[in-house]
Amino acid sequence: MIKTFFVESWLAKLLSLVIATAIWYMIKSHLDSEKPTFPVPGTGTPPPKTSTVPGLEETILAPLTTPVPGDKSGN
């Protein structure tokens, strides 16, 4: 039984094995040659910190800071 499995249509089986190996090699070489185009977290520089509302940080931190003598801002 095993002998007939290998003997019957051995040329078609060999050809399909060669084609499958060639396709695998083409996919593997294509994946190895490309650099990843997606950003990897922690490897780039962080974007500059911008606030959408001017003075937002000062209004949030105002209760935590000590008042400066002579400051007329009202905080």
pLDDT tens per residue, range 13-67: 999 999 999 999 999 888 877 666 676 777 777 777 765 655 666 666 666 666 6
Strands (E), 1-75: none
Separation CA 70–CA 63 (nearest Å) = 17
Phi/psi region, residue 36 (left: phi>0; alpha: psi -120 to 50; beta: rest), is: beta
> Is the model's pLDDT at 75 over the cut of 60?
no
pTM of the model: 0.41
Q: Which pLDDT band holds residue 1 (cuts at 50, 70, 90)? A: confident
Domain ranges in the chain are 1-34
Residue 17's pLDDT is 96
